[in-house]
Amino acid sequence: MTPVIPGFVAAIAEHSTNPYSIGTEQTYIKLELIVPAMLAVLVQWGLVRRRWLRVMGEEELTIWPWVSTVVAAIVILNPVGLAFLTDSIRHSPTDLLWQLFAISTVIVLVVLLVAASVECYIRDKILRRRLASGSPNLSQAARSD
């Protein structure tokens, strides 16, 4: 299995003397299979961790930006988002719209980073408020499980 690094497979294929070398078309198929699997593992890990913390009677809220992560995955991992991203990374002198793709990709990435930062800040405030108040909900959650 080849690593999923943009441009890695194409760079190796360019230096190959084999006429049937691997092209970039297989990289995109692997990307479409590996990334959703990794997202599923990330979500399962979060749910298992949350359940374990509830059973232990500890605070299950984290500062990880879950909502921003899901929104970023939806924005980036759709065919239009992947097309913008690959056209931004792959710069061709004959591509007249490269600057448009690059600017729009940078703007979207900055907006997603700002949203994740705001979500982390809000989650941190909520977590600090819960920990300072003594968290009466924790004892009730532990009893209900």
Within-domain flag for 125 = yes
Number of domains in the chain: 1
Question: What are 31's two structure tokens?
Answer: 């990307």
Is residue 107 included in any domain, yes or no?
A: yes
Domain of residue 36, residue span: 8-144
Please report whether residue 76 resides in a domain: yes
pLDDT in tens, 88-119: 887 777 778 888 888 888 999 999 999 999 99
Answer whether residue 116 is part of any domain. yes
State pTM to two decimals.
0.60
pLDDT of residue 119: 93
- Structure confidence by residue, pLDDT tens digits, 44-74: 887 888 888 888 887 777 788 888 888 888 8
User: Hunting for tokens 């004959």 — which residue is that?
Assistant: 94
Predicted local confidence at residue 111, as pLDDT: 95
Supply 79's token pair.
Answer: 């065919």
93 occurs within a structural domain = yes
**Residue 2 is assigned to a structural domain of this protein:** no
Q: Which residues contact 55 (CB under 8 A, 6 or more apart)?
A: 142, 145
On average, the pLDDT of the chain sits at 77
Higher-scoring residue by pLDDT: 60, 1: 60
